[in-house]
Structure 1
């Protein structure tokens, strides 16, 4: 009996030791954060980027890092990253960049951590009913002859083109000027303002031509068409186009970028960032939940984290 009791005690001690090792393994990332200085993550103007930034932030927190979310304009953020005032942006569309971004990559002040995994498209979109008023669409050449079909009182006789918000760059304006299209580019105020104007136009079948992008929930809810351009001969440069050979817009890759201080100060975080990915399908579904379902972004982020634990566990360990 005594021998049996001793064996039971040994087994209990072994079990407790195993549990302690297991707990240590689970909590190890929390204990191994190289610094408690906050990793500052850029938050831009569109819902998809809010989602990618907040998912990355929550996973970094699971690794034991302090995280600070910083609202950052699409253009000024590159200077802040170059100067180390921001540390990380998980979703940078590389066809909306500035000299500060390019120079930062060249100097090493900004580090490219690879693609996020999205498969984007950008360009001008229009609804089916506008094709009836502008024969020849989807070719961009049709817009020369039916610009008035897209006009409003302020733009007439030119068509009205809703472009990206001003601090996202002037790519549509460059294409209009280079090709001589009779359209007035009008910057949208924000993603939300652009979507509201699109939905209003669709509801009353008003004319609309808008610069837009995917992934986005819009394409899961309404039928929209893309203006088509000539195939690019090499790189498509918005600032250098002519009427007969216009290629429209360079199609982006979506990259994760960091300041050089991040891999220096938080090397384990840098390894996580290299592995972090999202797909169009994942992001589209989450954007729809937030923008149309009215769910808090934080809840949608937590749903993704819960559903994808098998995926992200390997990233953070």
Structure 2
């Protein structure tokens, strides 16, 4: 995300580490390429999968259809957001299916080097923000304006927040402006990183079970809203360029239409797989449906994808046309 630090659902890969997931286990790809990515003539596709469940949902459905409808072998690589662009440019992966906006990488690889090609919109709009549980917002309606947050800092203090109110974040590897926001808005809060989306979800669920107040960095789309209703805190309005200087950010996060990107050589040689990935486009509800099956109902990604595919035949048939 230039707009986001996320997100969400499996263990986060160490910065820069690439893990090739195959039936034979995981291999360290830090110093080697996938033997399948960008292989001319091979009916194999390698997809980048980020650490949040929405990204996993995209890949699960794409992988299922590539394998069961188009006859490809699909391998997945877990990699953090910025290193994923490097891997895509180098042909170590063939596609990223959910990017939250990385203008520097887009300029370098899409516009200058032309090693990456825009693959079109995913159909989902992402948004990062600060959220409080709806039960707390109903008790204290003014907490939904950032100017009133300091009134509640004492109630939002934890053992980890050093005497200040806690702003709960996920992984430090996600795109976040929160430390700068707290400083520039002069708020009596401390950003506390839970370490991963999964850990953040566990903490939010614990707070909600006990009906405790909390303030958290969170994002949409996200299946957890169905389990723990949350209300967004209004930050100073986002205006184009207000987040250009990372140290001076004092505005809300933008709403970001999520994008797909493909390796340029793969676009030329990837045949039906490349055409399919360009056409892959679904809704927030679709993504949340699969995410919920994976993260909450504990289905395997393949089982979750099959369940969605079986129920949405007319939708995905259009992705295979042509």
Same fold (TM over 0.5): yes
* 1-structure distance, mates of 2:40, 2:75: 16
| Mean Cα deviation higher: 298-307 or 33-42 | 33-42
How far apart are residue 241 of structure 1 and its match?
4.8
In the TM superposition, what are the counterparts of 1:245-260 in structure 2 within 5 Å? 246-260=250-264
Q: 2:302 aligns with which of 287, 298, 308?
A: 298
How far apart are residue 131 of structure 1 and its match?
3.8
* 2-structure distance, mates of 1:217, 1:271: 29
Distance 1:178 1:260, change over 3 A: farther
SS in 2 for 1:150: coil
* Cross-structure match for 1:93: 100
Q: 2:214 aligns with which of 205, 208, 227?
A: 208
* Cross-structure match for 1:152: 158
* Cross-structure match for 2:109: 104
In the TM superposition, what are the counterparts of 1:127-166 in structure 2 within 5 Å? 127-131=133-137, 136-166=142-172
How far apart are residue 240 of structure 1 and its match?
6.0
Instruction: Give the TM-score taking structure 2 as reference length.
Output: 0.79
* 2-structure distance, mates of 1:66, 1:129: 47
* Cross-structure match for 2:16: none
* 2-structure distance, mates of 1:190, 1:39: 27
Report if the CA contact (8 A) 1:75-1:167 is conserved.
no
What are structure 1's unaligned runs of at least 5 residues? 1-32
Provide the alpha-carbon RMSD of the alignment.
2.4
Instruction: Give the TM-score taking structure 1 as reference length.
Output: 0.80
What are structure 2's unaligned runs of at least 5 residues? 1-38
Structure number having the greater helix percentage = 1
Q: 1:47 aligns with which of 53, 62, 69?
A: 53
Report if the CA contact (8 A) 2:168-2:216 is conserved.
yes
SS in 1 for 2:146: coil
How far apart are residue 267 of structure 1 and its match?
3.8
In the TM superposition, what are the counterparts of 1:109-128 in structure 2 within 5 Å? 109-128=115-134
